Amino acid sequence: MSVRSANAKWFGTLKDGKGSMNFSDYSGPYTFASRFEEGKGTNPEELVGAAHAGCYSMFLSALIAGENLVPESVETKATVHLGRDETGPVITLIELNTLVSCKGLSVEKFNELAAAAKAKCPISRLVAPTEVKLSASLV
């Protein structure tokens, strides 16, 4: 299997500092404001959401293909909620909202495959201690 890497560099204090995250062809800034407020830039939770949405979409596509069907599209939005517990900031919930277009896929089989993808995609398994809610629609 593959091995991937990413890196991040931070300069300064938590509130006044700034940093950048880099992987593949992506390089983006992040700050206290982009993570904990509504500032410009990205943040680790947003990147977790992108990873989860991408992983889930690919896994669901593979499960559909396993039924000898070809999905026209699998589009997933992941909303990552950052909260707080006694230790500090923590991801409290990830909501996956998926729209799938696939001719010949019954609603019953779709619901079964959507749930299986939620349970089995590698990012879902990575974040298993976190509640993940799924809303999946076959269009």
* Tens digit of each residue's pLDDT (9 = 90 or more) over 22-52: 999 889 999 999 999 888 999 999 999 999 9
pTM: 0.90
Q: Return the structure tokens found at 55.
A: 């992983």
pLDDT of residue 71: 97
pLDDT of residue 125: 95
pLDDT of residue 107: 97
Q: What is the set of domains in the chain, with CATH numbers?
A: 7-36 (no CATH), 44-138 (3.30.300.20)
pLDDT of residue 52: 97
What is the Cα–Cα distance from 139 to 124, expressed in whole angstroms? 24
Residue 28: Cβ within 10 Å count: 16
The CA angle 40-41-42, to the nearest 5 degrees, is 135
Cα–Cα distances (Å) from 49 to 40, 43, 82, 124, in that order, read: 17, 10, 11, 11
Mean pLDDT of the chain: 94
Given a cut of 50, the residues of the chain with pLDDT beneath it are none
Using N-to-C axis directions, what is the helix angle for 107-120 and 44-65, rounded to 10°? 130
